Structure formats: C-alpha cells, structure tokens
C-alpha cells in the first residue's frame, strides 16, 4: 500500500475508554504473570490503532491546513487527546501497581516503569480542560505560521519559500527578504504574543494543579527525562558558553572575511561563500533517487530501509501553500511506516532533510519490532543523535548531491553544527527564564530574549527594529509547541560530532555503534544509550572541550 491508501478512521474515544476500563479490570484480576503479559500485548494493539489514526490525521492536516476534513479531525483530536491522556494515565497506574511488577520488569526492563513513574507526575483528570486549551493554542500557532503570505519579487510567498532569497549573493536582496519576513511578523506580533502568553499561563496553571512550583520540572517530566535535571542542563549550557561560543564566533568572523563584509548583519549570516552557498543539483525526484543510491552504498540495512520509504511513498517534501512550515519524521504504527514531512526550497536544507529526517526514520524502522510502543522511540535528546549523525555518515556522498560545491557544503555543514549549539542553548535558557518567571509581560519576554541572545550569539547584529526588540523566537515553533525540547538538539549534536570523528577514523566501527544505537530504540534512558553507542556523556566536564578541540582541527585542515 502507498501512504495515500492508508485508511483513516476517526478514533471513537468512548469505545476506547470502554476497552481501557476492561483491560484494567482484567489486568488487576490476572492470576499469573503470563496472563498479565498477554493482556499488555492486547492493550498494546489497541494503543497502536489509536496512535496510527492520530498520526494519519496530523500528517494529512499538516500537509494541507486548508483541507476541511482534516481540519475538523485536528480540532476533534485537540479536544479528545487530553481525555485519552487520562486513559493512558489510568493504564499507567494499573501497570505500575501490578502485583507482578518484578516479573514485568524482567520482561520489559526497568526503564519502562521509570517512564511510567515520570508520566504519572504529569497528569490528573482535573487538568483535562487546560490540556485542551494548550492543544488549541499550539495548533493556532501552526496555522498562523502556515498562513504566511508575503509579497516579494512579484510573487506571493510563504516563509519557507522566502528562505532562498535570504541566501542571495546580492546583499540588498538579502536585506529586503529579511525586512519582508520581519514585516509579516510585525503585522502579526500581537497574535504571536497572545498565543504564547496563553501557553505560558495555561502551562503554569497545569503545573500548579499538579503540585509543581512552576512549569520547569513538569516540562522535563513530560519529556520523559529520567536521568538528568535542569541543574545539569544549566551546567551544560555554561560549557557551551565557555568552549563553543568562542569557536562559533571565530567561524563567523572568518565567514565575514570570506564574503568581504566588514559590518556583518544578521541577514548576512545565511551567506557562507562569496560565489553563493552550495545548492543541490536536481529536482525533488532526482534528489530522492540520489539518496536511494547513497543509502544502498552506505549499508545493507540503510538500503532496505530507503527502498521501503520510496515504495510506500512515505514522503511529502515540496513546499506549497497551506502546508505547515518546517520538517519532521513520525511513525504510523500499524503500517510500520516512518513518514517524512518537509518543505524543499532549493537550498542545501533539502539534502539535510534526506539525511536528518531519514536518520529519525531509519532509527524507528530499525526498532519497529520493539516489545512495547514506548520503546519505538527514545526520548528526544537521544532521538536526535540518529538524525544528526546520519548527516555526518552521508558526507562521503555529498559529491553526488552538490557536484563541484561538495567541499563547500561539507565545510559549511560542519561549521553549522558548531554555530547551532549556542543558538540551541539560547532557546533553552530563554524558556527557563520565562517559565521560572511566568508573570513577565509580553515586552519583558522580548527583552529577555534579546539579553540572552547577546550572550550566546554576540555576532548577531540587527539593523531591523522588529528583531532588535527581541522577536526572533517567534520563528522557533518548538518554543510554542514543545517547551524545553530544543536543548535536546544540542546534546545530540555533540554526540553526532563524536560519530563524525569516529567515522573519520573507522567507518565500519562507527556504523556498528550507530546501528546498535538505532536498534535499541527507546529501551534505555539517554545516558544509558550513550554507553550502547560508546559515546561520551555531554554533561561530563571536559566532554565538550574535547569534541570542540577535534572539530576545530578538522576545520583548520579543510578551510576554504
């Protein structure tokens, strides 16, 4: 079956509630561990059915936000998913209190029950209406971004379609494109402020109802973080300030020299070379076929995976009106199908999708036979290791995608993995500041962003008043939809950089460790998965310093 043939049926949550209640009763009355395990398998199939329909609806809604049918389905899910969370919560309590818990730990592992313990701290029936409000606000943000319509160069463009102009060789064009996008954000500034204000307030209200001081710890628990906390993350951010910001700043200074600009502004940062950034050669179909060849040559497992993606048409890659921005990978359980969503725009980011999002897809495809739905994916910071590492594993094939510009792409890609780290830490520190001080006014939030931004990105100079007031974060969807997720990208990036170094030394050994990590799925927490992959822990003092030193050496040797 092709993805277009995958059947969507609206989940009947009243019927689902009945089945969950029946399970809980049977499970509590089970006489043997074997009977209890059989019941877990049975409810697992029901949960997979629900997950399948949720993902099909959400994919098809994000592909076309103008589709009235899936608009209605998304609204239905926004209302009922919090109620379903209540059913999952009841299920978790039943499993956690099982008289056969020791036997279940032997079968499923301790991590399963650690995840349950954390999840139990994130829900009570009295927050259902608040969760519904939170969902609706997050959906409202997605629709607002998707509605972007900017008149530029004689065309009506959305934000994704405007991006190629931000990499133009002509500085005036870059500035005009920057000002055009800023104009759109200024026009809708009140809407972004109101949506985020509503999200901060409702999340804080949820946290207080659950007994938390503020949303921070709840946010960590929602992300399933069982082996580190906000204090460890704060120390990690300090390592970024100490070891990464200086290297990132030197990269940007070098970039200014390379493109002959003394007064580098924010709209210049997207141009890496004076004769233009590397652009992939080929249309969408040709790029996908190049990726297919690459994955077959990379490894037997990777080739089989990508054939599956192509044969089932599990991509939606081209930017179009009404389509949500950004990119993601998700998983349709009943069809054991990863799905990749993106907005191709003719930049090197198109190739990054075919490596980054494909890395996510390869991981979940590799762990598709996990004994529990919870083990299909790891928590976010570990999940991003697979995607970012795949970008590095793909390096030897960039000649196919970029031809004469391959070396330029490789150099700029490695530089980008460095300059990204301070930005990711900036997003994280901003969110901690906001949720630790939820009473901030809308203007104070923007001032806070700009203050933190200057610490991590001292080279980001604006000459646009909208950005100078501290509104850049409006563009970062994770801040609205997934609080505290963004630091996970940086943790994973440091791990991926280790795979880059390992791959340069010995590809077979590096791929072996990577594939073992993918197969492990979410069966262990972040720090334990690092041991499976033979990676150093980014939280440990000295880890970041060591990685940055080795990357800096590579950059010096490959400077263009």
Q: What is the pLDDT of residues 357-370, one digit of tens each?
A: 999 999 999 999 99
Span between the terminal Cα atoms of the chain, in Å = 47
* pLDDT score recorded for residue 160: 84
Angstrom distance (rounded) from CA 11 to CA 424: 37
The mean pLDDT of the chain is 96
* Confidence label for 393 from pLDDT (cuts 50, 70 and 90): very high
Q: Which residues contact 336 (CB under 8 A, 6 or more apart)?
A: 365, 368
- The distance of Cα 505 from the centroid of its chain, to the nearest Å, equals 29
pLDDT of residue 362: 98
Confidence grade of residue 420 (pLDDT, cut at 50, 70, 90): very high
Each residue's pLDDT tens digit, 83-138: 999 999 999 999 999 999 999 999 999 999 999 999 999 999 999 999 999 999 99
In this prediction, residue 423 carries a pLDDT of: 98
* Per-residue confidence band for 345, with pLDDT thresholds at 50, 70 and 90: confident
Q: Is the pLDDT of residue 474 over 90?
A: yes
Query: Which phi and psi angles does 51 have, rounded to 5°?
Result: -60, -40
Instruction: Write out pLDDT tens, residues 215-243.
Output: 999 999 999 999 999 999 999 999 999 99
Contact 394, 357 (CB under 8 A): no
Contacts 24+ apart (CB under 8 A), 388-391: 388/356, 388/359, 388/417, 388/489, 388/492, 388/493, 388/495, 388/496, 389/359, 389/495, 389/496, 389/499, 389/500, 389/514, 390/355, 390/356, 390/358, 390/359, 390/362, 391/352, 391/355, 391/356, 391/359, 391/496
* pTM of structure: 0.90
Q: DSSP of 33-92, one letter per residue? A: HHHHHHHHHHHHHHHHHHHHHHHHHHHHHHH-TT-HHHHHHHHHHHHHHHHHHHHHHHHH
Share of the chain above pLDDT 70, in %: 100
Rounded Cα distance between 287 and 7, Å, is 29
E-assigned strands of 312-446?
Answer: 315-318, 328-332, 337-344
Give the per-residue pLDDT at 240.
Answer: 98
Report the relative pairing of strands 155-157 and 315-318 from DSSP bridges: unpaired
């Amino acid at each position: 079956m092709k993805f277009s043939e995958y059947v969507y049926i609206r989940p009947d949550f009243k019927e689902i509630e009945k089945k969950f209640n029946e399970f809980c009763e049977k499970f509590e009355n089970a006489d043997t561990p074997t009977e209890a395990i059989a019941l877990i398998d049975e409810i697992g199939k029901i949960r997979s059915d629900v997950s399948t329909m949720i993902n099909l609806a959400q994919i098809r809604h994000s592909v076309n936000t103008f589709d009235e049918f899936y608009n209605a389905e998304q609204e239905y899910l926004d209302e009922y998913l919090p109620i379903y969370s209540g059913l999952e919560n009841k299920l978790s309590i039943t499993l956690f209190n099982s008289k056969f818990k020791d036997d279940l730990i032997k079968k499923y592992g301790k991590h399963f029950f650690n995840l349950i313990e954390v999840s139990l701290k994130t829900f009570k029936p009295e927050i259902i209406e608040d969760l519904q409000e939170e969902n609706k606000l997050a959906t409202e943000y997605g629709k607002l971004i998707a509605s972007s319509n900017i008149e530029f160069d004689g065309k009506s463009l959305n934000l994704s379609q405007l991006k190629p102009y931000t990499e133009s060789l002509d500085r005036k064009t870059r500035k005009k494109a920057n000002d055009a996008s800023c104009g759109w954000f200024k026009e809708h500034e009140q809407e972004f402020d109101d949506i985020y204000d509503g999200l901060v307030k409702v999340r804080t209200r949820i946290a207080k109802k659950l007994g938390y001081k503020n949303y921070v710890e709840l946010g960590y628990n929602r992300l399933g973080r069982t082996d580190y906390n906000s204090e460890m993350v704060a120390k990690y951010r300090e390592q970024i300030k100490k070891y990464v910001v200086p290297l990132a700043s030197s990269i940007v200074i070098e970039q200014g020299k390379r493109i002959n600009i003394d007064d580098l502004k924010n709209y210049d940062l997207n141009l890496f070379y004076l004769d233009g950034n590397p652009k992939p050669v080929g249309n969408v179909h040709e790029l996908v076929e190049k990726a297919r060849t690459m994955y077959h040559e990379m490894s037997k497992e990777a080739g089989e995976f990508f054939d599956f993606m192509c044969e089932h048409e599990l991509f939606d890659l081209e930017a179009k009106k009404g389509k949500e921005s950004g990119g993601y990978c998700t998983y349709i359980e009943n069809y054991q199908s990863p799905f990749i969503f993106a907005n191709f725009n003719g930049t090197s980011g198109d190739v990054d999708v075919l490596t980054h999002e494909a890395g996510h897809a390869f991981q979940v495809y590799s762990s598709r036979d996990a004994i529990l739905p919870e083990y299909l994916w790891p928590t976010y910071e570990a999940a991003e290791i697979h995607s970012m590492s795949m970008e590095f594993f793909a390096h030897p094939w960039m000649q196919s995608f970029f031809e004469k510009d391959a070396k330029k792409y490789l150099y700029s890609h490695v530089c980008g993995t460095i300059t990204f780290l301070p930005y990711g830490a900036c997003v994280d520190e901003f969110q901690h500041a906001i949720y630790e001080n939820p009473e901030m006014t809308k203007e104070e939030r923007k001032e806070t962003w700009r203050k933190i931004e200057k610490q991590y990105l001292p080279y980001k100079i604006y000459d646009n008043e909208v950005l100078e007031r501290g509104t850049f974060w409006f563009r970062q969807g994770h801040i609205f939809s997934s609080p505290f997720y963004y630091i996970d990208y940086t943790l994973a990036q440091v791990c991926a950089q280790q795979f880059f170094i390992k791959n340069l030394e010995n590809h077979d050994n590096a791929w072996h460790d990577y594939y073992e990590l993918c197969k492990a799925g979410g069966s262990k927490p972040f720090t334990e998965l690092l041991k499976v992959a033979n990676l150093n822990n980014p939280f440990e003092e000295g880890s970041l310093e060591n990685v940055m030193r080795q990357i800096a050496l590579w950059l010096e040797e490959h400077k263009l």
